């Protein structure tokens, strides 16, 4: 197993948890089990957009040493 494979194995559960947390913050309870095809593009986009925003904020904090 390569280092990249190991990183992906560790990152997937963390990203899934982040996605669920953000969906809950946006009022989309049970996001893991819901049929995403029934959500509007706006609702799905909000989850991905806020997830990206949060990941960028986390990276900025790490780079700045906070």
Output the pLDDT for position 10. Answer: 78
Q: pLDDT-derived band of residue 12, with 50, 70 and 90 as boundaries?
A: confident
* Domains in the chain, number: 1
Output the pLDDT for position 7. Answer: 66
In which domain, by residue range, is 48 found? Answer: 3-64
Q: Give tens-digit pLDDT for 18-60.
A: 999 999 999 998 888 988 888 888 888 999 999 999 999 999 9
pLDDT of 6 over the 70 cut? no
Q: State the DSSP string of 6-55.
A: HHHHHHHHHHHHHHHHHHHHTT-TTTTTS-GGGS-HHHHHHHHHHHHHHH
């Amino acid at each position: 197993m390569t280092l990249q494979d190991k990183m992906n194995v560790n990152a997937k559960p963390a990203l899934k948890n982040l996605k669920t947390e953000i969906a809950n913050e946006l009022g989309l309870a049970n996001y893991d089990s819901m049929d995403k095809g029934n959500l509007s593009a706006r609702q799905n986009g909000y989850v991905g957009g806020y997830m990206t925003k949060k990941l960028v904020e986390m990276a900025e904090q790490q780079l700045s040493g906070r």
